[in-house]
Amino acid sequence: MSKLTLGSHPYLLGFEQLERLLERSAKSGNEGYPPFNIEQTSAYSYRITLAVAGFAEDDLAITLEDRQLVIRGRQGDEEEERVFLHRGIAARQFQRSFVLAEGVEVGEAVMENGLLHVDLTRAEPERIVQRISIRKG
């Protein structure tokens, strides 16, 4: 018995790339830090919010490559001379990856009260009905 995958289903033609995107997303290795929200702010816009308390704007990097949004955080090493009796606030580097659909554009990124907001927009799809003529053979 052969395994039926999304890309090989007979009614889903041309979706092979979607299957590769799902595999890439599953392999990204995102753990639970930092916590994040994804909210739909309108019919065609979204907002990703990451809790990045303790990180400055210079400690964060946002890149977009091949429809993959990557947010990295790395804090400086200036705290090495400090002595902590208890350290409960996480200060580790992180990387969060989000695979974006075709047509999703990254807008602005804003830091506010320890939260990093990244706005995304998707163009409204055109509704085109195309008539295909049948040629006599």
pLDDT per position as a tens digit, 28-80: 555 688 999 999 999 999 999 999 988 999 999 999 998 899 999 998 766 56
Instruction: Please give the pLDDT value at position 25.
Output: 62
Q: Residues 6 or more apart from 77 whose CB is under 8 A from it?
A: none
Assess whether pLDDT exceeds 60 at residue 1.
Answer: no
Contact 36, 96 (CB under 8 A): yes
Q: Over the stretch 114-136, which tens digit does the pLDDT of each residue have?
A: 999 999 999 887 888 999 999 99
In the chain, where do the E strands start and end?
36-42, 45-51, 60-65, 68-73, 94-99, 104-112, 115-122
Assess whether pLDDT exceeds 80 at residue 14.
Answer: no
Scan for tokens 């003529």, then name that residue.
133
Assess whether pLDDT exceeds 70 at residue 8.
Answer: no
Q: Structural domains in the chain?
A: 1-30 (no CATH), 32-122 (2.60.40.790)
Query: What does the block give as tokens for 1?
Result: 């018995």
Assess whether pLDDT exceeds 70 at residue 24.
Answer: no
Cα–Cα dist 92/72, whole Å: 11
Instruction: Please give the pLDDT value at position 41.
Output: 95
Instruction: Please give the pLDDT value at position 92.
Output: 81
Instruction: Please give the pLDDT value at position 33.
Output: 87
Backbone angles phi, psi at 16, to 5 degrees: -60, -35
Scan for tokens 């091949």, then name that residue.
66
Q: Over the stretch 82-121, which tens digit does the pLDDT of each residue have?
A: 888 988 876 689 999 998 988 899 999 999 999 999 999 9
Alpha carbon distances (Å) from 134 to 3, 13, 28, 112, 137: 36, 21, 46, 59, 9
Cα 41–45–47 angle (5° rounding)? 60
